[in-house]
């Protein structure tokens, strides 16, 4: 039996999240249905990152095991079956022990905001018309590389055994009226990025000082964190693996 990674991108606006749930349309659920239609047999998928309801992905991965011959044309076939807001980008054959979640060495996310009303950004970016100091927000972001314990930014209804994350990039940029926050880490906690963004926006508004920001990060108290940031501005942008992906076709 061979193991495969499947790479996809999706617009999460109409879905109840990535992972299969009862009575809700999910990304994994739609892909499993499409694969069962194509291969005429159920296939169990394991996901690399469980994005929340409304969160999008430029790149995410799942893996599955099968004896069925996986052919290059199956990418086209799957995309013909899937809804237009989910796209299979590639399928890779990998070593039998490879795991799309546990073997990931880096994950990247982007959070998008726009400061001027724009109908084409609605539901894809957070409309934030209030003045912010991007330098203060970057000063807060820079400190993240000095921390490893992010319990403050984890929602409590989680089953993780550790709150340790190794953040290697955290940057704010502005292009015209649009603001973008990009962050890379080996792993992320549930609600972590939205909590980081919401709280750093409060730094940018002058409601939280840099000293208070440090206190919040170190406090391990999620009640001091602003998790109100809307999901639709968040994108899983990339997942990196060691060099074992062998593309089909």
Averaged over 44-50, what is the pLDDT?
Answer: 94
The verdict on residue 248 lying in a domain is no
pLDDT at 159 over 90: no
Averaged over 193-217, what is the pLDDT?
Answer: 97
The verdict on residue 93 lying in a domain is yes
List, in sequence order, every residue forming a beta bridge with 65; answer none if it has no partner. 3
Q: DSSP secondary-structure letter at 21?
A: B
Over the stretch 82-113, which tens digit does the pLDDT of each residue have? 999 999 999 999 999 999 999 999 999 999 99
Residues 165 and 225 in one domain: yes
Residues 145 and 87 in one domain: no
pLDDT at 194 over 80: yes
52 counts as catalytic:
yes
| Contacts of the segment 159-164: beta carbons below 8 A, 24+ positions apart | 160/189, 160/190, 163/189, 163/220
In angstroms, the CA 6 to CA 9 distance is 10
pLDDT at 165 over 90: yes
pLDDT band at 22 (very low <50, low <70, confident <90, very high): confident
Residues 146 and 57 in one domain: no
- Average predicted confidence (pLDDT) for the chain: 95
Predicted confidence at residue 177, as pLDDT, reads 95
Q: Characterize 53-67 residue by residue with b for buried, 16 or more Cβ atoms within 10 angstroms of its Cβ, and e for exposed.
A: bbbbbebbbbbbeee
Which is it for strands 178-185 and 126-127: parallel, antiparallel or unpaired?
Answer: unpaired
In this structure, what CATH number is given to the domain that contains residue 218?
A: 3.30.70.660
pTM for the complete prediction? 0.94
Residues 97 and 203 in one domain: no
Which domain, by its residues, includes 8?
2-103
pLDDT band at 17 (very low <50, low <70, confident <90, very high): very high
Predicted confidence at residue 155, as pLDDT, reads 86
pLDDT band at 169 (very low <50, low <70, confident <90, very high): very high
In angstroms, the CA 60 to CA 76 distance is 18
Over the stretch 180-190, which tens digit does the pLDDT of each residue have? 999 999 999 99
The percentage of the chain sitting over the pLDDT mark of 70, rounded to a whole number, equals 100
176 token code pair: 């015209």
Predicted confidence at residue 80, as pLDDT, reads 98
In this structure, what CATH number is given to the domain that contains residue 31?
A: 3.30.70.580
Task: Give CA separation, 112 vs 61, 138, 173, 195, 209, in Å.
Answer: 22, 15, 10, 14, 23
pLDDT band at 21 (very low <50, low <70, confident <90, very high): confident
For 115-126, give the secondary structure using H, E and C: CCCCCCCECCEE
Residues 141 and 223 in one domain: yes
Residues 233 and 132 in one domain: yes
Given 11, 52, 103, 133, the catalytic residue: 52
Residues 92 and 131 in one domain: no
Residue in the structure block whose two tokens are 């991108």? 9
State the total domains in the chain: 2
Higher pLDDT, 121 or 159: 121
Answer left, alpha or beta for residue 220, where phi above 0 means left and psi between -120 and 50 means alpha. left
Predicted confidence at residue 210, as pLDDT, reads 97
List, in sequence order, every residue forming a beta bridge with 5; answer none if it has no partner. 63, 92
Residues 175 and 134 in one domain: yes
Over the stretch 211-249, which tens digit does the pLDDT of each residue have? 999 999 999 999 999 999 999 999 999 999 999 999 997
Predicted confidence at residue 161, as pLDDT, reads 83
Quote the Cα angle for 217-221-222, to 5°: 90
Total Cβ atoms within 10 A of residue 40 = 8
Give alpha helix (H) positions in the chain: 27-39, 73-81, 134-143, 192-204, 210-219
The verdict on residue 246 lying in a domain is no
Specify burial of residue 33 (Cβ count, 10 A radius: 0-12, 13-18, 19+).
Answer: middle
pLDDT at 114 over 80: yes
């Amino acid at each position: 039996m061979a193991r495969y990674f499947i790479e996809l991108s999706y617009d999460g606006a109409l879905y109840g999240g990535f992972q299969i749930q009862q009575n809700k349309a999910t990304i994994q659920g739609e892909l499993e249905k499409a694969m069962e239609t194509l291969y005429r047999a159920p296939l169990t998928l394991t996901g690399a990152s469980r994005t929340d309801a409304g969160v999008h992905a430029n790149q995410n991965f799942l893996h599955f095991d099968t004896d069925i011959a996986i052919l290059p044309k199956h990418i086209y076939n799957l995309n013909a079956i899937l809804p237009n807001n989910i796209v299979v980008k590639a399928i890779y054959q990998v070593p039998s022990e490879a795991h799309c979640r546990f073997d990931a060495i880096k994950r990247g996310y982007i959070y998008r905001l726009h400061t001027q009303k724009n109908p084409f950004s609605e539901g894809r970016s957070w409309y934030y018309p209030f003045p912010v100091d991007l330098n203060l927000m970057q000063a807060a972001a820079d400190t993240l590389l000095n921390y490893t314990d992010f319990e403050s930014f984890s929602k409590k209804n989680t089953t993780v055994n550790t709150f340790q994350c190794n953040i290697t990039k955290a940057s704010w940029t502005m292009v015209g009226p649009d603001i973008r926050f990009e962050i890379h880490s080996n792993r992320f906690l549930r609600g972590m990025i939205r909590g980081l963004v919401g709280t750093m926006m409060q730094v940018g508004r002058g409601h939280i000082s840099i000293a208070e920001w440090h206190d919040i990060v170190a406090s391990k108290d999620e009640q001091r964190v602003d998790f109100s940031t809307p999901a639709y501005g968040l994108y899983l942008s990339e997942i990196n693996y060691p060099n074992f992906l062998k593309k089909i076709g």
